[in-house]
Structure 1
């Protein structure tokens, strides 16, 4: 259980950050996925009120970051905020941004990987990887690993092991698909997949037509499974060095992520949420994961509605997480292992 058992689906990020204000003060924080009218906006605003040493906002569009910085400074004029532009669907852009980070700060106490996309058609990244998987997981994998020296420096200087953290925003949609190791680009019909890579049975035909190889919802689900498995791997590799990683389902929120879908997709999404949250409510669970001091001794985990929650077995198995780490290294052309260094 987290520190506050009263926190739940209606809790706001404002409430959480007010509670954990001392844990925010003085920290260097990177928020990936920050733009107006997004979940990132509510995360950024809630953090900026509590005196972080530095808040870095990363997004694809510099003008959107600047608009959000203006909103922050309208509330907290002296808040130290910097911007970082990057395109998570381009590995060269990610590498360039990681180099630019060297000019912004040498250490990062908290990384919040909030950025994600959901597209209705089959697209690929610059490197030819299915767009959801290549951006939502592989892009985050590469960026985070390139910044791990900054994270480990912060952890080495922290008096409280476990307070240095990497938060990966995921979704309950991870239940739609395990990692398709034999077909992450969705070129096969699901009957052709190994049993352990098939989507769960009983999905509506609108989600998984057996005659079509590509389903955007299932592809999105695979990428969200990747986010959870990434946190499993990060904690396994880094917990002995004072770094923890948590994956977070923010809940059902009507953001630009859903607005990118076509009419059929939007209609389907509207049926999936039992409770629709405001942006401030949607940002709350990430704030618990990032700052709750009770979680310093936790072995990572998956959170929803501000508390620990069960995730699908295909998203939590350490052996699958290790296999995904190896595949991810292959897809970015670089090996990362910070254990023992």
Structure 2
């Protein structure tokens, strides 16, 4: 996949210290973009920054402390990014957790729903003022084929009554798509040129699988290795959604192979459930209430 010159563009990537986030940062920095790495572990983020500078000496790359499991950290990170950058061309909502034992965020949300969805909902709303003035800017949220098993349980969003690791993960990934489509609708209604897209990396061999059953865990992905692909290939769908002129708002991209686990980027169809307008609006309203982030910049742009 050819990446056009990205000089003059600023990209903020969450979860950029490892996996597809790290790979995406490496590629975009090499293409000339100013890349901001949002990382929970600053030491790991600094290591990625230093690696990028070593392979691309002219790279413009920085690290911002960001823990998506803390609304306070999200607000501080957004404040820092807005102070240091007068524009954001692409926001890549990549960070995530998958199938951990039940735990909660600093604000009491179930960890997967709180990190994968609510954290990125809040961050996007707080950074929107830097995206909206930039013609053709993009918000790319990383989803998963797991959304196909997802249900939004508004009566138990935080899995307090019953916690099943896979079900909670699927709910959070469905929420990513519902958010993307509702954000795209609101951007279009407001006349913004900013667009919202979703993508997923398929079975990229990253450390995200640390909580999978033992036979599928580790750098090799164990028994699942034949249907997975290297992180360099996994990152292509995210890169396509982020910078390719053919990627359009409101669309969803991922690998074109079996079960969407491996292959080259292509446009995908998500489930009818992800396109339910009533659920999209309800989730948006609930997310605003839980995070106290109101997307004021979007309202002002109308």
Q: Which residue of 2 aligns with 1:302?
A: 252
1:299 is displaced (CA, Å) by 4.0
1:272 is displaced (CA, Å) by 6.7
1:328 aligns with 2:297: no
Q: Cα deviation per residue 1:252-311 (whole Å; 9 max; x = unaligned)?
A: 0221110244537749x866776211000000001111111123xx34111112111111
1:31 aligns with 2:40: no
Task: Give 1:291's match in structure 2, choosing from 221, 232, 243.
Answer: 243
1:46 aligns with 2:13: no
1:241 aligns with 2:192: yes
Q: Which runs of 5+ in 1 are unaligned?
A: 1-15, 156-162, 189-212
Going from structure 1 to structure 2, the CA distance change for 1:91 and 1:103 (only over 3 Å counts) comes to same
Q: Which runs of 5+ in 2 are unaligned?
A: 256-264
Going from structure 1 to structure 2, the CA distance change for 1:228 and 1:270 (only over 3 Å counts) comes to farther
1:319 is displaced (CA, Å) by 2.2
Query: What SS does the corresponding residue of 1:178 show, helix, strand or coil?
Result: coil
Q: Which residue of 2 aligns with 1:88?
A: 68
- Given the two structures, how large is their TM-score scaled by the length of structure 2? 0.89
Q: Which residue of 2 aligns with 1:259?
A: 210
Asked if the contact 1:31/1:56 (under 8 Å) is kept, the reply is yes
Larger RCO, structures 1/2 (Cα 8 Å, 6+ apart): 1
Aligned pair count reads: 287
Asked if the contact 1:178/1:315 (under 8 Å) is kept, the reply is no
Query: What SS does the corresponding residue of 1:245 show, helix, strand or coil?
Result: strand
Query: What SS does the corresponding residue of 1:95 show, helix, strand or coil?
Result: helix
Q: Which residue of 1 aligns with 2:166?
A: 217
Where do 1:100-111 residues align within 5 Å? 100-111=80-91
Root-mean-square deviation over aligned CA pairs: 1.9
Q: Which residue of 2 aligns with 1:122?
A: 102
Q: Which has the larger radius of gyration?
A: 1
Q: Cα deviation per residue 1:37-94 (whole Å; 9 max; x = unaligned)?
A: x111111111111111x11011101111110011101111110111111110011111
Query: What SS does the corresponding residue of 2:151 show, helix, strand or coil?
Result: coil
- Given the two structures, how large is their TM-score scaled by the length of structure 1? 0.79
Task: Give 1:113's match in structure 2, choosing from 79, 93, 108.
Answer: 93
Task: Give 1:176's match in structure 2, choosing from 141, 149, 155.
Answer: 149
Task: Give 2:114's match in structure 1, choosing from 127, 134, 137.
Answer: 134
